[in-house]
Chain A
């Protein structure tokens, strides 16, 4: 299991259909692959290339540019601790120091049981609630050593399973465009006239 499953291919085709060019779906499909396997496999890269009409090298070239894509297995939970200025001013470094000691690992590695991967993160856009962290991109605000320890305990005990999906799943709600409501994507070269609602003088220009 590493190419996209049949169900996921259906989702992939729905996503591709929304763009005037299939290649635009590359990043969404990489997320889909990561959701399926927890990380992006070589087979998934090849499969995505087939689906969007790109070579594996092109898809890999895009994928490796972006921080969120992982190319080897990571923990079920990815814990990202922010280290940019606002968080640093409010104790982000100290929080990371505490986390490394509590988990017994350095930032960038995974606990031996494969449950938690710890990483530095850059600004998470919650600067007034510093220091912040995200677990699989779900926020925790004003984190203290005590609330960090409680969080880890909850994760280990599976108490947050309903709130925090395993690594790979970002949004749990997908956009669905109903067939009877969608305008549909048109290749840019096939559009030569102004949209219907544009007033005549503008359309005639």
Chain B
């Protein structure tokens, strides 16, 4: 196995690849202002302040920095969607990372908070955003402490607040923190939560946050990793950025690979060209399946993504290609299942997550997610009937009517149905409860059938041996 690990960043593996967002992870004091400044920290901000806001915005547009939160929308384009001459505009940083399998924002906040702060400042400067709210997931105590300490240092040193670095650029960054709710990662729910309400997504279209967001004003919501790209981009320029990665997915991207691999880890990979086979089998990354077992299936882009089979291993990690193959690149999280995995049980762990995290606003998700979980629970416990399997698909169809995306399989002789799906809910939590059920049932129906009505009878009298019903 090649690559370097650091005891101060459990999970992260550095390799012989370009580092856009993780270059400071090698230092055990990477989160301090002293280390940041000694390693080009805030040089990107200085470069930005030396140019006009429009020029900086154009540079980000040219670089096509894709959003790293899940949807993959280009940040520069998103900034341009604010209505003209409506003020103030706000920046809300989405650090509510909680998609199953995903963690990169937590590391970026814990290990390099100054890079994130610098990214926030560049975004505020370019898009004319006059206040920034940095929303960190409630359960991330260390990230909150590191970002708070970094903000205190940055304020004292004149990088944040009034007349930054002596210019006429002034912006406050306010640290805000959540209290445990997955759905708040959805940008309109994040805004609701930031306004002091229950974190329930707002209905859209017609009005996206860029038009009507926080306090009814134009609001840009960007993911932590997206913003962490900006300091490097400002220092090195869009041409250097697009020289890395593929034409449609430039730069690098943080991907967490977990589950049954030899070396699970968070890797900064070259975006758009690294294949799943590279990720799972190369010595540079995970080095193969644990105990040299057989790969059964994997989730390519976080718990919400339809599952892939070994058939899809040669796909590069590129949003459009993954979408055409029936899934999504999502939040950059691969979860790997080897041949020992009980597929219905694995699906249950994800469906239970989404059923539990439903905010309750949309009926198909609130009721449907719970139904899916209960039926699946019954099947996994050996108490399901053949009717239950059809029922799972029927309930799913009330959340996502029509064809649901899935991968192709040579073994089953089925072709891929491309992403996305139709949905009857405001946000993706409802469909995500159905995704693992649909993938598992479509690709491994035999495993569900093998579990039907396998409960053990314990006779009252004790005369008969416990028997398995047929």
Interface centre among A24, A128, A176 (most CB of B within 10 A): A128
Among the listed A66, A90, A130, A174, which residue makes an inter-chain contact with B138, where contact means beta carbons less than 8 Å apart?
A66
Tell me if A47 counts as interface (CB < 8 A to partner B): no
Indicate if the CB atoms of B196 and A52 lie closer than 8 Å.
Answer: yes
Indicate if the CB atoms of A122 and B357 lie closer than 8 Å.
Answer: yes
Indicate if the CB atoms of A184 and B168 lie closer than 8 Å.
Answer: no
Tell me if A101 counts as interface (CB < 8 A to partner B): no
Among the listed A62, A134, A195, which residue makes an inter-chain contact with B197, where contact means beta carbons less than 8 Å apart?
A62
Tell me if B294 counts as interface (CB < 8 A to partner A): no
Tell me if A160 counts as interface (CB < 8 A to partner B): no
Q: Give Cα A181 to B341, complex, Å.
A: 55
Tell me if A77 counts as interface (CB < 8 A to partner B): no
Among the listed A134, A173, A195, which residue makes an inter-chain contact with B145, where contact means beta carbons less than 8 Å apart?
A173
**Residues of chain A in range 153-205 having any CB-CB distance to chain B below 8 Å:** 170-178, 180-186, 188, 191-199, 201-202, 205
Q: Give Cα A18 to B169, complex, Å.
A: 18
Indicate if the CB atoms of B215 and A66 lie closer than 8 Å.
Answer: no
Tell me if B125 counts as interface (CB < 8 A to partner A): yes
Indicate if the CB atoms of A125 and B97 lie closer than 8 Å.
Answer: yes
Interface size range of chain A in the complex:
35 or more
Q: Give Cα A54 to B303, complex, Å.
A: 36
Among the listed A30, A61, A183, A202, which residue makes an inter-chain contact with B198, where contact means beta carbons less than 8 Å apart?
A61
Closest to B147 in A: A175
Indicate if the CB atoms of A196 and B170 lie closer than 8 Å.
Answer: yes
Among the listed B85, B145, B179, which residue makes an inter-chain contact with A67, where contact means beta carbons less than 8 Å apart?
B179
Interface size range of chain B in the complex:
35 or more
Chain A nearest Cβ from B224, distance in angstroms:
12
Q: Give Cα A62 to B352, complex, Å.
A: 23
Closest to A138 in B: B141
B residues contacting A by CB (< 8 A) are 10-11, 52-54, 84-85, 87-88, 97-103, 105-106, 125, 128, 130-131, 137-142, 144-145, 148-149, 151-152, 155-156, 158, 160-162, 167-172, 174-182, 193-199, 215-217, 256-260, 264-266, 299, 303, 333, 335, 337, 341, 345-346, 349-350, 352-353, 356-357, 359
Q: A197-B53, A199-B52 are in contact. List 14 more A-B contacts (CB 8 A).
A: A23-B195, A54-B196, A65-B198, A83-B352, A89-B258, A89-B260, A128-B256, A129-B264, A170-B144, A173-B152, A174-B148, A178-B155, A188-B215, A195-B170
13 contacts between A and B (CB under 8 A): A21-B196, A31-B179, A65-B199, A67-B180, A125-B98, A129-B10, A130-B264, A177-B172, A181-B158, A195-B88, A195-B169, A197-B125, A197-B170
